[in-house]
Amino acid sequence: MVFFALFVAEDCTGQKTATSKNYTYKNGDFNGIGKWYMDREIAHVMGFQGIEWLERSEREKEENVSSLIQNMKIKSNDVIADIGAGSGYHVFKMAPFVTNGQIYAIDIQAEMLSKINKTKKINDVKNIETILGSEKNIFLPKNSVDKILMVDVYHEFNFPVEMISSMKSALKADGQIFLVEYRGEDPKVPIKKIHKMTQKQAIKEMDAAGFRLKENLDNLPWQHCMVFIKK
């Protein structure tokens, strides 16, 4: 999610359109990249310059991260991948519960991973491993992960088809994806439209990737907490 996501911007519609196998290219929202997937414009990736915003003191109140962690029902031996881990805000909240497992913090920005590694060293955390991912691959072995967490990041994937395919390969047969996105159905959520996602849109895209919605936990103030499993 971008650093300025709390400020609402107007959409603008362009005229030129091009298509590829999975994606359409046309002008759109000022905060979008002009690339569309299943009628949804992809948002710009938040740069590492927004780390302080990720660590803001109001985040627990705004997002109720404690409830999100409870929603995941983490087991001590779970292997969990946080995709788009950013500064590690969620990674370090999950780590105490994974006493016999492993957490992978995956991001495409080395600066974000550097921040996580610094925090790991300061706090002597042993069960977190950082991985520099790409726009198309999370670089985890097949059938290696119990849970995948994505918080306000899926809508920024430049290649959602390829990324979800990579996650599907890494996820165990009974694994779960926790897709957390600001509710696009709720105009009261003070986030730009392009940085929100409706449940309907999420289901459409995940269904195309071979997943089905198990449940949508509605105990977060502004966000969906959608749990997807393999079909």
pLDDT digit string (tens) for the chain, length 231 residues: 333 343 333 333 344 678 789 999 999 999 999 999 999 999 999 888 878 878 888 999 999 999 999 999 999 999 999 999 999 999 999 999 999 999 999 999 999 999 999 999 999 999 999 999 999 999 999 999 999 999 999 999 999 999 999 999 999 999 999 999 999 999 999 999 999 999 999 999 999 999 999 999 999 999 999 999 999
What are the structural domains of the chain? Answer: 46-230 (3.40.50.150)
Query: Locate tokens 């400020």: which residue?
Result: 7
6: Cβ contacts below 8 Å, ≥ 6 apart = 190, 191
pTM of the model: 0.91
DSSP H helices, 157-198, are 160-170
Q: Are 211 and 204 in contact (CB under 8 A)?
A: no
Amino acid letter, 154: Y
- Cα 152 to Cα 20, 25, 144, 195: the distances in Å are 26, 23, 23, 8
pLDDT number for residue 30: 92
What is the spatial distance between Cα 107 and Cα 84, in angstroms, rounded to a whole number? 5
For helices 160-170 and 199-208, give the axis angle rounded to 10 degrees: 70
The two beta strands, 40-43 and 32-37, are: antiparallel
